[in-house]
Amino acid sequence: MKTSQRAFALIAASLLSLAGIAAGMAPAAAEPATTSDTRPNYHYTPQQNWMNDPNGLIYYGGKYHLFYQYNATGDTGGNASWGHAVSTDLTHWQQLPIAIPSDADEEVWSGSVVDDSKNTSGLGTAKRGPLVAVYTSAPRATGIQRQSIAFSIDGGTTWTKYAANPVLDIGSHNFRDPKVFWYAPANEWRMVVALSDQRKAAIYSSSNLKDWTEKSEFGPDGVTSAVWECPDLFPLQLDGKASSTKWVLTVNVAGKAEYFVGTFDGTTFTDDEPPYAAPAGTVLNDFEATGYGSGWTTTGTAFGNGSAHDTGVSGSLGAGYVDTFHNSDAETGTLTSSVFTIDKKKLNFLLAGGDHPYVEGGSIGAPPGETFQDFEGDALPGWTGTGDFTKIAPSKESLSGQLGGGVLDTCQAGCDSAQGTLTSQTFTITHPYIDLLTAGGQHPWGQNNPTAVNLVVNGQVVASVTGNDSGSMDWVHLDASAHIGQTATLQVVDQSDGSAGWGHMMVDNIVFSDTIAQRWNSETGANLLVNGTVVRTATGNDSGTLDWHSWDLSDLQGKQAQVQLVDLNSGGWGHLIADQFTLADQAALSSTQRAHWIDNGRDFYAAVTFNDAPSNQRIALAWMNNWDYANTIPSAGWRGTQSVPRILSLRTVDGQPRIVQTVAPQVSALAQLKQLQVAPPTTIPAGTKKLKVTTTTNAVRVDAVFAAGTAKNFGLQLFRSADGSQYVGVSYDTATRTLSLDRTHAGNVGFSSAFPSVDSAVVPLDHGLLRLELYLDKTSIETFAQGGRASITDLVFPAAGSNGVALTAQGGTAGLAFLTVTPLANAMSGKYSD
């Protein structure tokens, strides 16, 4: 393996860096781990119950104050109050009593804390200005989100809600997460707050924290496929130069923290990023004409007689576009292009509307068979209920995917709190399959608090299905083939109270059949047809904002093809919006691909920064979890972890200002250097090479430098089981310049279908080298590449004893320049009794 002199210099610098840490720090004494298998060693967790967003981050009185969303009544989300913890070093945290509690009238949602040292609010004393918390008040009765304040005159220990709350109310159900800071040029306060469903951040001003005036709005911009939450706005010096100060606006969207770099004049934030221009090419249709153009044909009624020409859609090019929403979502149909020859490598187009993917072989109606129950009547003769379902009857609803007007819904008195069973009359099994539609809670039979439909034979459950964590019904089936001729009953079970999400389920159209009903083909999307077969497909984004898609056509050159737009959906974003189908040589990039992310993992959300941190440092924390599975992660008695504290800086990267992160140096003080393990430099052959080092308690920092060599892909496996079947893969693809973290083989991944993932970040090699810093802590991994130019944070739940390390390479050989494993002491030792 050959490397350049520059490469060897970088390796030497990295080794000297580690040596410097060792020379400048006394080894920490080994500390016993807590008895919990999942409780982190050096990430903050509450002693018990639920925690999510960090709130009110401020350095005050020589301490870092961490407030956070806290449910004092359970270990799932809800009933939000502000928990409180303090630290002098960002690692050893002391949990304090609840700071701002929820009450009978309101929940206390996310916000921020400022030091009102000048007592502009008048809520302090003659000698001391107060700490003021600005939070989102969520009244239980109305669901309106409004901004309120509380104040503390004893340094943050006790808080009083302001008697004249709320201080800002625009009557919105999507107005939350205020971040407030002092804007010295105007001698006033500024607030940035999310207009969540509008994908906007609003900026307000105040002289006293009580009376607020709107100054401007930013957005929609960047990623708009999900609501915006937890914004932040702060200055950073570019490349450490005060004369080149920029402003950074962050918003948390689609499970991640996105940032924009620009200017702020006290009134308006302006993004420096120029508008995106997709690659030019051959336009198949831009829909500027009144009709669809020669050769384009329609079926059904959804596409009408031609393109739309109004201003209700964001992101269209020109004035015209396709929109299948006319008077309602009920209309369905297709729009198919004339035949064209594929002569370029990419087909780029804009798409929005319903997120309903193409389903190959999907159902378009009920399966053939004998209908056992369609829930169309007003009663359920022959069915018997227990618990809250003794008097249950079908309800009239219009769920997506529902057949007819009636459905069985266990949302009864109290809705999610209703629990019980409903059992059908006895029947003889005469068909191999029982097809039915379900929706609602995805809590399978055999797990805690199920929401399920069971096939019961001789008193035993022989087959079971559950919901899909949505309000859209889809086909599932019970396999009765081994029990034909036997008598049976169907049993609907709801033992969930909603604390783990979707605490009820819906059932419809039970059919005894000889075939398995496939999922609904309720598509809203675009397909590429070759010889009448779908070879590429895309769907919308559940929004009205068009975004770029790109199909790779490299393997289809010279083929005859057609574009077909499809709307087979009649509810729940049941329409399609499309524009600008263009053959091109380069791919158009979606807003997600173009976005600048602080972290590219699945578990770094609600990221915000400390006010008044020492030396003007911009220190960020985030909640390490994801709402897709947050309530179901496997931890006992508590849920919720904060990330390691990260110092954000702004540097010029490839000619553009980009956020670079470093873990706060206080974390390094936990290093147990006497237990440091070193793997010597080695060649990595194609395949997997197990190392002798281990990650012991899996609460460690791993530092590694790789040389790409001839390998197409290289990296390492962490949290590796003894037999190698379980691991977290950290790998680099040299062709795409992509670093990936693969947790699909990492122990327990089955508690939620949304959990298994491969998460990636684009980051270039530096003279053929990849430098990684990886922070492992029992059930998490935070990966930093190339000195913090990219990061990926994910939760993992490895099996006991999975602490091995291995090297990997594919398509050639790579090199390991060095690798060290440094245990990090238990900062929470003795804090909790678990």
What residues act catalytically? 53
User: Which amino acid is it at 170?
Assistant: I
On whether the CB atoms of residues 409 and 456 are closer than 8 A, the answer is no
Closest Cα to residue 646, out of 602, 616, 610, 595? Answer: 610
* Residue 544 zone, left/alpha/beta (φ > 0; ψ -120 to 50; rest): alpha
What is the distance between the alpha carbons of residues 66 and 95, in angstroms, rounded to a whole number?
A: 9
647: its two tokens: 């110092």
699: its two tokens: 């609460």
Residues in the chain: 834
On whether the CB atoms of residues 813 and 684 are closer than 8 A, the answer is yes
* Residue 171 zone, left/alpha/beta (φ > 0; ψ -120 to 50; rest): left
In terms of DSSP bridges, do strands 63-71 and 340-341 run parallel, antiparallel, or are they unpaired?
unpaired
Query: How large is the C-alpha radius of gyration of the chain?
Result: 29
484: its two tokens: 């034909």
Q: Mark 125-141 as b/e (b = at least 16 C-beta within 10 Å).
A: eeeebbbbbbbbbbeee
Q: What does DSSP assign to residue 186?
A: G
Q: What does DSSP assign to residue 755?
A: -
Query: Cα–Cα distances in Å, from 231 out to 237, 338, 522?
Result: 20, 46, 35
What is the distance between the alpha carbons of residues 396 and 219, in angstroms, rounded to a whole number?
A: 39
User: 655: Cβ–Cβ under 8 A, 6 or more apart, which residues?
Assistant: none
Helix/strand/coil for 12: helix
In terms of DSSP bridges, do strands 677-679 and 780-785 run parallel, antiparallel, or are they unpaired?
unpaired
Name the one residue in this structure whose structure tokens are 């109270």.
497
* Residue 209 zone, left/alpha/beta (φ > 0; ψ -120 to 50; rest): left
What is the distance between the alpha carbons of residues 309 and 555, in angstroms, rounded to a whole number?
A: 36
Give the up-direction half-sphere exposure of residue 440: CA atoms within 13 A in the CB hemisphere. Answer: 31
Name the one residue in this structure whose structure tokens are 């384009």.
296
Tell me the DSSP string of 383-426.
-EE-GGGTT---EE---TT--SSEEEE--BTTBTT--EEEEPPP
Query: Cα–Cα distances in Å, from 343 out to 267, 293, 584?
Result: 49, 21, 9
Which residues, listed in sequence order, are joined to residue 194 by a DSSP beta bridge? 176, 201
On whether the CB atoms of residues 565 and 322 are closer than 8 A, the answer is yes
What is the distance between the alpha carbons of residues 719 and 225, in angstroms, rounded to a whole number?
A: 33
What is the distance between the alpha carbons of residues 756 and 765, in angstroms, rounded to a whole number?
A: 27
277: its two tokens: 């221009």
User: Which amino acid is it at 138?
Assistant: A
User: 745: Cβ–Cβ under 8 A, 6 or more apart, which residues?
Assistant: 725, 726, 727, 728, 729
Closest Cα to residue 732, out of 680, 652, 807? Answer: 807
249: its two tokens: 């606006």
User: 507: Cβ–Cβ under 8 A, 6 or more apart, which residues?
Assistant: 375, 407, 408, 436, 437, 438, 453, 492
Helix/strand/coil for 591: helix
Q: What is the largest CA-CA distance in the chain?
A: 86
